[in-house]
Amino acid sequence: MKKIISGKVREVYDLEDGRMVIVTTDRISAFDVILPTMITDKGKVLNALSNFWFGLTKDIVKNHMISSDLKDMPAEFQKSEYEGRTILVKKLKMIPYEVIVRGYMFGSMYEAYKKGEPFLGHSFDKKYEQAEKLEEPIVTPSTKAAEGHDINVTFDYMKKDLGEELATKIQNAALAIYKKCYDHAYKNGIIIADTKFEFGLDENGELVLGDEVLTPDSSRFWNLDTYKTGTSPASYDKQFVRDWLKDNNLAGDPNIKSIPEDVVAKTSALYHECVKKITGKDL
Encoded amino acid at 57, one letter: T
Distance CA 239, CA 159 (A): 35
Angle at 90 between CA 25 and CA 3, to 5 degrees: 45
Domains of the chain as residue ranges with CATH: 93-223 (3.30.470.20)
CB-CB neighbours of 74 under 10 Å: 13
pLDDT by residue, tens only, the chain of 283 residues: 899 999 899 999 999 999 999 999 999 999 989 999 999 999 999 999 999 999 999 999 999 999 999 999 999 999 999 999 999 999 999 999 999 999 999 999 999 999 999 999 999 989 999 999 999 999 999 998 665 678 999 999 999 999 999 999 999 999 999 999 999 999 999 999 999 999 999 999 999 999 999 999 999 999 999 999 999 998 888 888 989 999 999 999 999 999 999 999 999 999 999 999 999 999 8
Q: How far apart are CA 216 and CA 271, in angstroms?
A: 8
CB-based burial of residue 164 (10 Å sphere; 0-12 exposed, 13-18 middle, 19+ buried)? exposed
On whether the pTM is more than 0.85, the answer is: yes
> How far from chain centre, in Å, is Cα 77?
24
What value does the CA radius of gyration of the chain take, rounded to a whole number of Å? 19
- CA 246 – CA 249 distance, rounded (Å): 5
Residue 211 DSSP code: S
| 153 vs 213: CA distance, rounded Å | 21
